Every structure is written in C-alpha cells, then in structure tokens.
Amino acid sequence: QLSSLVLKSPLGLNPAFQVNLNAGGQGSSPLLSPVLSDAGGPRIEEEDEMKRKRYPTDKAYFIAKEILATERTYLKDLEVITVWFRSAVVKENAMPESLMTLLFSNIDPIYEFHRGFLKEIEQRLLLW
C-alpha cells in the first residue's frame, strides 16, 4: 500500500483532503473520508495510534519526566524546611535546642536521600 497524500489549498480556503493511493485498486471506505469526519479535516487519530503502538517507551519516558518534575518540587520544599526555616529559627532563637533536634532529626535524612535520588533520576533520563 502506498502512503497517503495530503493536499491543501495555497490560500487556505478549502479544508485539507486526503488521497489514498492503494496498490491493487482498492479504495478506502467512504465512511473514513475526511469530508465525512466530525472535525472536517483528515483523520489523524489513526496515525497517532500507530505511532503509539510503534513507540511504547514514549509513554514511559513522559511518566519518568513527570516523576522528575515532581521530585524537583518536593526537594525544593524539603530545602525550604531544612535550610531556610531552620536558619530563621536559629537566628531568632525561636525554639529550644531540644525541640529543634527533635523536629529536624527526621527531616535531614529524608532531605539527603532525595538529593541523591533526584541526581539518579536526572542521570537515568539523560541516558534514556
């Protein structure tokens, strides 16, 4: 089967239409005609579906990028707590040392873990 050819008016007045050149003289169904489609343009959903089937890792890559963005945001939030909030509390002498130790003793290891985790995610996405 030969590929489809999309023709457009140079002035852009007429909607695009699609010509299918099939080997063996078989034409496409009139129900799939771009003239009869709801959008009024050529049907590109089928082409997108074929691309998705051909490249299944694309979806996983975009999910990984979303995880990376979320991890960056989370790390910045942890940094606000561990660095900026702590320095403001120490500067103002706003709470006793024992309470500060209790409060930040659990946050520091989480912050350090996520710093390393973010670097690992970034490296893996660079190698994707």
pLDDT reported for residue 59: 87
Residue type (1 letter), 16:
A
Residue 13 scores a pLDDT above 50 = no
Per domain, the residue ranges of the chain are: 59-127
> From CA 83, how far away is CA 115, in angstroms rounded?
13
> From CA 69, how far away is CA 119, in angstroms rounded?
12
Report the candidate in 6, 2, 122 with the shortest Cα–Cα distance to residue 64.
122
- The continuous run of DSSP H or E covering 6 comes out as strand 4-7
Report the candidate in 44, 33, 37, 41 with the shortest Cα–Cα distance to residue 15.
41
CB 82 within 8 A of CB 104: yes
Query: For residue 20, what is the DSSP state?
Result: E
pTM: 0.52
Rounded to 5 degrees, what are φ and ψ at 5?
Answer: -120, 125
Q: What is the mean pLDDT of residues 94-121?
A: 92
Per-residue model confidence as pLDDT tens digits over 68-107 = 999 999 999 999 998 899 999 999 999 999 998 898 888 9
Beta-strand pair 4-7/17-20: antiparallel
- For all residues of the chain together, what is the average pLDDT? 74
